[in-house]
Structure 1
Amino acid sequence: MINARRLMPWIAFAGLILLLTGLVVTGLHGFFTPVSAGLCLLGLVLGLLLFVRQTSRNLVLYLQVFLYSAFFVGTLFLLYLVMDRHGLSYDATKRQLHSLSPITVNFVKRLPQPVRITAFVTEADKDNARLLLEQYRVASPKISYELLNPFRDVVAARRFGAQVMPGDIYIEALTTSTARASRIARVARLREEDITNGIVQALRAKDTVLYFLTGHSEMPLERDTAGALLAGQRVSLRDLAWVRDQLTRLGMQVRPLSLVQRGRVPADASAVLWVWPKADLTGTELEILRRYLDDGGRLLVFLAPDLPQAMGELTSPFRNVASLLERYGILLTSEVVARVTPQANVDHFAIPVELVQHPITQVPGDDPLVFFYARPVQPKQVLPPEVRLDELLRSSADCLRLSAGEVATALIKRENLTRNVDPKELSAVPLGVAAMRLEPGKPEERASRIVVIGNADFLSSERITQKGWLLLNNMIAWAVQAEEMIAIPTAEIENTPMVLTDGERQFLFLLMVIVVPVTVGLIGVGFTLARREMQ
């Protein structure tokens, strides 16, 4: 006759084998199948037979352990529900890559009216969209959002037009009383900078239109890739293509402007920008800009020194521009800033730039800003009474001024520029100023505003940095009196994401989901059996 008591350990051992087999099959498939789930369940039941002999005398103990375990698991489940409903999270990355920046948080907390965000995304992008937009909702009770599929939610998509596609995000500024959209902004990328500036654009009373002057060999807005390829030359990055794309993404309109052809500055111009011209304004263009500024216009000028551009070609002196700027207390001299340093192999025309306290220069980050070939932008000692002028940028204290003609001659002849330097000549040279001219009797919003920077190369696609971009954004915001315009610094990821193959993912699944738990379970069973034998 078979002794059932002696068979119990062997049945329990077989149950553990079945459990392990079911887990291995699950690991090989990457998920539970009906067969693997059945093997695991059967193995677990048979394994529990090992404790049948002690059930009668330890029944109370088993019930207590079961109740304590159920209470502990239930507590964890309730904690999970609370955290899931209230969006509690912690960003452990060094640069807070998965959190809204303080700039965005402070802005959305002060929203003057409700904002609704409608994101059209696919099922694959829905989780990422919810993760980002939920942070906006938590930061401000005035923000709500909705995630829709443009192919499934056709009626809702038609409210924004007939060409709504996945990835389109619409931001609506709602009226406080009727909750109707007073203004709609569209962004095309699910990133914090785009979303935040989309909110700014939706709340703005009118569009920002920037006109870039042309006709003086300025830095181009477009990249001439086709022309360079046809000529067999390297594609030049000395253009404003990157800046143009970024301004467009922020909801601003960027347009070229020829004063000779138009004869005036368009009425919808928020500001006029003049970037790296090689020739001076004509008398007619000077008069057009003078009238525009007298009528409360805004002008941003980025001038390089009067140096040869190629094959000895010299830029023309900017006499007309200098006369225009002098009305605002700004002196434009034909000089070049050079740095005097005992270090060898140092470019003496690479000038470290220091930021002077001003709303324009309030940019985050400690990365340096360097101007290659800069000209002084000197404030007049005695300013006109209607002008207020502030210094924005200056060079380091180990710099001096050189005549542009002296530097140009040395460059054309390919000679080294040598001269004796008196330490008294060294000083911090002003490189950028902001001026505001307000005629008596006019309101402050009608004041003309000018920003002049003694370098333009820092805006080119070849050299622009995050600090240079943020400075430009702040200059435009100050000029058009749209200080709420925000440029969120790009989050810099310091590590490279790890991409696992299917085999590596399967190995990790077997290791962490099967091997480790089973090992811990076997150790626990062995410890229990050892204690039982000792008793």
Structure 2
Amino acid sequence: MKKEQSVIAAKKKKFMVTSIIWIVVVALIVVFGVQLAYRVPWTYDMTGQKLFVLSEETKNVTDGLTDTVKIGAVYSDSNQDAMVSALLKEYEKISPNIQVEFLDVDKNPGMLAGYELGDVKAVPNGTIIVNGNGRYKVIAPTELFASGETGNQFYGESEITGAIRYVTAETLPKIYFLQGHDELKTGTDTAKAVALLERDAYAVDTLSLLEKGSVPEDASMVIAVSPAEDLSDEEAAALRTYLEAGGKFLLSVDPTLSTNTDKLKNFGEITRSYGIDIANNFVFEEDQSYYLTTSNMYLIPRYGEHAITEQMINDQKYVVLPLVRGLTEVEHADDVKLTPLLQSSPSSWMRTDVSIAENGMTEKDVQGPINLAYAVEQNGPRMVVIGDSNFMTDGNLEMQGNSNLFINSVDWLNGGRDSAMIAGKVINSNSMVVRGADFVKLMIICCVVMPLVMFVGAIFVWRMKKNK
């Protein structure tokens, strides 16, 4: 009897020791796994839009960082946004030169001192501040999230990567928006276009040729958006001098619907000297495939082959032009190269006499296709002329490929400069679609890894019971 009790006691002791050893081993494995997970920059994002996977554009921007970039997220300790926090962790992983910190300015307002914000006073909760190379960029909470036709959009990566590019660029090409001719205002009508340029590492300012007398020497290009009044003779001479010296010019003009009077004579003389006529007219589209269902004058044009449109064609992103002025070619110098960028369908027509009140096409109208935008290059000067300005206003810029047309035109005018445009991502999808390599990974996890873990666990439990 005593012998049996001693055997049982020995088995119990052995079982207890084995259990303790296994518990310690499992605990060590868990601790080691957690520590390894924090140190190894490996993640698997199963969201349909890859909300927490940084794009190749971001990697290209961050790979070249040599100086420290500070990212401050203004959130109280109890009110941090989970999506923003997760995204900022990915930025910390992608580069050792990126430092992220959360700033509870309600408790400690002095935390903003290290970000050198200058005249910026109000920094609401949810603001992201990116600081580096003596520059800073403030991203408002409203710029991180937006609602659209496809759902709620998250622009976190787009804004933060653009801000990093802005503050770390060695030089910022200077773009001047022409003012003084009743153009669209940069602070209201085209604020998103200006923000897009800054995300693409441009410096933006306004220019009054009447005040300055000439285009500043630091101008990389000049943009005129929907001028309703003409250049004076002195302004036209200054702009012409700038172009002849190798300047870059983007002009967008809207259609004239009420008068045949040429209100943009001097603008027109400049464009005609490079082979483009911007005479008064408007374009009407008859082919349903090339206009929005809401209006025959909201065109979805075809693309011409050019560096500006190449990626848009590959990505199948369409431009929407609300109310368009047609452009025609005129005689020009042999060394001027004209490339149509956008064109209406053969079923469209252009009304050159806008006093005609007929709804349909008349004998005086011009049968399509009609060219709607041109890229112009000579030995030095470059110009993009677009027969619409509404596409780049705040209400339309984010529609389809409109922002691509704008920023691609600017980059091409600046010598083919690479853009770091990153699209917003939908965050409220109701379904998850898994295809290709992601499907294989998910299948391996669900059908191999998880069953194998459970099988090994079952074997372990069986062995422990057997030892009893």
TM-score, normalised to structure 1's length?
Answer: 0.63
SS of the equivalent of 2:425 reads coil
- Change in CA separation of 1:351 and 1:126 when aligned onto 2, cut-off 3 Å: closer
Q: 1:474 is matched with which residue?
A: 408
1:269 Cα deviation (Å)? Answer: 2.8
The Cα of 1:86 is off from its aligned counterpart by: 1.4
Mapped pair 1:81 → 2:32 = no
Question: 1:306·1:317 contact (CA, 8 Å) conserved in 2?
Answer: no
- Identity, in percent, stands at 23
Question: Per-residue CA shift, 1:68-92, capped at 9, x if unaligned?
Answer: 4543443233222211111321111
1:390 and 1:419, CA in 2 relative to 1: closer, same or farther beyond 3 A?
closer
Give the secondary structure class of the aligned counterpart of 1:360: helix
Is 1:119 matched with 2:75? no
**CA contact 1:352–1:371 (8 Å) conserved in 2:** yes
Structure 2 letter corresponding to 1:341: D
Structure 2 residue aligned with 1:332: 278
Q: Would the alpha carbon gap of residues 408 and 79 (structure 1) be closer, same or farther in structure 2, given more than 3 Å must change?
A: farther
Structure with bigger RCO (C-alpha 8 Å, 6+ apart): 2
Aligned length: 402
Please name the residue that 1:160 is paired with: 116
In structure 2, the partner of 1:38 is none
Structure 1 position 95, deviation (Å):
1.0
Report what 2:153 is aligned to.
none
The whole-number CA distance in structure 2 between the counterparts of 1:468 and 1:281 is 27
For residues 353 and 472 of structure 1, the distance between their equivalents in structure 2, rounded to whole angstroms, comes to 15
CA 1:248–1:144 in 2, change beyond 3 Å: closer, same or farther?
A: closer
- How much does 1:99 deviate? 1.9
SS of residue paired to 1:463: coil
Matching residue's letter, 2:351: S
Partners of 1:450 and 1:479 within 8 A in 2: yes
**Does the 8 A contact of 1:306 with 1:404 survive in 2?**
no
Work out whether 1:105 is the aligned partner of 2:59. Answer: yes
TM-score between both structures, scaled by the size of structure 2: 0.71
Give the equivalent residue in structure 1 for 2:302: 354
Deviations 1:420-439 (A, max 9, x none): 899x9554x3221222222x
Partner of 2:301, secondary structure, is strand
Task: Give me the whole-angstrom Cα distance separating, in 1, the residues matched to 2:91 and 2:165.
Answer: 14
1:188 to 139, 143, 148: 139
- 2:162 maps to a residue whose letter is N
* Preserved CA contact (<8 Å) 1:297 1:448: yes
Q: Aligned to 2:372, which of 415, 431, 434?
A: 431
In the TM superposition, residue 94 of structure 1 has moved relative to its aligned partner by 0.9
1:135 lines up with 2:78 in the alignment: no
How far residue 300 of structure 1 moved from its aligned partner, in angstroms, is 0.7
Any idea what the Cα deviations from partners look like across 1:35-85, whole Å, max 9, x if unmatched?
xxxxxxxxxxxxxxxxxxx97765545554554454344323322221111
Aligned mates of 1:82, 1:394 — CA distance in 2? 56
For residues 81-112 of structure 1, the C-alpha deviation after alignment (integer angstroms, 9 at most, x for no partner) is 21111132111111111222222223333x27
Q: 1:171–1:365: structure 2 CA closer, same or farther, 3 Å change rule?
A: farther
User: Shift of the alpha carbon at 1:452?
Assistant: 0.6
- Secondary structure, counterpart of 1:78 in structure 2: helix
Q: Does 1:276 align with 2:232?
A: no
Distance 1:384 1:214, change over 3 A: same
Could you say which residue in structure 2 is the equivalent of 1:199? 164
Q: Is the 8 A contact 2:130 2:160 kept in 1?
A: no
The alpha-carbon distance between structure 1 residues 153 and 460, as it changes in their structure 2 partners (threshold 3 A), is closer
Partners in 2 of 1:346 and 1:194 — Cα distance?
32
**CA displacement 1:263-296 (0-9 Å, x = unmatched):** 3223333322111123333332221210111122
- Alignment CA distance shift 1:346-1:252 (3 Å): closer
Contact kept, 8 Å, 1:275 with 1:302, in 2: the verdict is yes
Following superposition, the deviation at residue 451 of structure 1 comes to 1.0
Secondary structure at the counterpart of residue 475 of structure 1: helix
Asked if 2 retains the 8 angstrom alpha-carbon contact of 1:279 and 1:316, the reply is no
Which consecutive unaligned segments of at least 5 residues does structure 2 have? 1-7, 145-155, 431-457
The equivalent position to 2:256 in structure 1, one of 276, 291, 306, is: 306
Shift in CA distance, 245/205, structure 1 to aligned 2, threshold 3 Å: closer
Once the two structures are superposed, what CA deviation does each residue of 1:304-360 show, in whole Å capped at 9, x if it has no partner?
Answer: 22322xxxx566354432321233233435443322237997633222123344333
Q: Deviations over 1:151-178 (max 9, x none)?
A: 76959935736778684634324xxxxx
* SS state at 2:411 partner: helix
The answer to whether the 8 A contact 2:318-2:402 is kept is: no
CA contact (8 A) 2:130 2:167 kept: no
Preserved contact between residue 337 and residue 399 of structure 1 (Cα < 8 Å): no
Give 1:390's aligned residue.
339
Q: Which has the larger radius of gyration?
A: 1
Distance in 1 of aligned mates of 2:418 and 2:395: 28
In structure 1, how many angstroms separate the alpha carbons of the residues matched to 2:397 and 2:117? 36
1:481 to partner: Cα distance: 4.0
